[in-house]
Amino acid sequence: MTITTDPSRVALVTGASRGIGRAVAVALGDAGHQVAFIYSADAEGAAVTTAAIEATGAKALSLQADVGDSESVGRAFDAVEGTFGPVELLVNNAGINRDGLIIRMTDEHWRSVLNVDLDGAFHTIRRALPKMMKARFGRIVSVSSVAGHMGGAGQANYSAAKAGLLGLSRSVAREMAPRRITCNVVAPGPIVTAMTEEMPDDWRTRAEAAVPLGRFGTPEECAAVVAFLCTDIAGYVTGALVPVDGGLAMGA
C-alpha cells in the first residue's frame, strides 16, 4: 500500500501556548499544514509556539480567545478563515483544573472547569462544522484525560468535563459520519509538563510506579497520536477513545 502525503490543510489547535497543545501545533506544522492556535493569557508562551511552528516551515497564526465564550470563539474562527481559509483540522486541547475534594468544591470551581474543558469544545465544534459539512471533510480531535474514564480523587469537576468530551465526540461522530467528518478523543495519562516537573519527587515516584511502562509520557508522544487522527488515512477511525497513558487505564 502506498501512503501519499496529505494536502496542506488549515488546522486550529486550542490551548497551545505550552505542553501538549504546543506539541500538537508543531506536529501539524511539520506535517505541512497551516496552523492557527488559540491561547487564553500566556502571550510569552504563545510567541514560543509561533516560533516553533514557523521553524517547521509552516505558516502560524496566534489568537487570544476565551473558548468558554462562544462569541470569542466566533471571532477567532473569523480571523482564521480570513487569513488561511476554513478550518479543516480542529484539535480541542484547552483545559484548566481547579482541584479539590467535592465536599469543599465551590460552584465557581465546578462551572469554570466545565466551561473551558467541555463547553469550549462544544463551541469550537459547532462553529467549525458548517464549513466542514460543505467541504465534506473534517478531522476533529479532543484531548481528554485518563481521569475522564477512571475518575480522580479531588477532580470531580475535571473528570466530569473530560468524560463529557467522549459523549460529545461520539455524538458528533455519528451525526457527521455521512459527511466524511471524523471525531475522536485522545486520553493522555501522566505527561511530562511544567506542572509535573514541579511536583515533589515522592509524588513523581508514586505516579510513575502506577504506570505499567514505568514512566511519564511526553507531549510529543501525545501529539503524534493526535496528528495521525488528523490525516486523510485515518478516515476510517471515528468515535474512538485512544489512550496515550503507558497502560495506566488498561481495561477501564
Active site residue 158: yes
Collect all residues with Cβ–Cβ distance below 8 Å to 168 and sequence separation of at least 6: 118, 121, 122, 125, 142
Q: Which member of 158, 161, 185, 243 is catalytic?
A: 158
**Grid cell listed for 214:** 514505568
- Alpha helix stretches (DSSP H) within 104-199: 107-114, 120-135, 147-150, 156-176, 194-197
Q: Is the dihedral of CA 223, 224, 227, 228 positive or negative?
A: negative
Q: How many other C-beta atoms lie within 10 A of the C-beta of residue 126?
A: 13
For residue 213, give the 3-state DSSP assignment.
coil
Using an 8 Å Cβ cutoff, are 230 and 132 in contact? no
Backbone angles phi, psi at 175, to 5 degrees: -65, -35
Cell digits for 131? 464549513
CA–CA gap between residue 137 and residue 155 (Å, rounded): 36
Q: Report residue 142: phi and psi, to 5°.
A: -115, 135
Which residues are designated catalytic?
A: 158
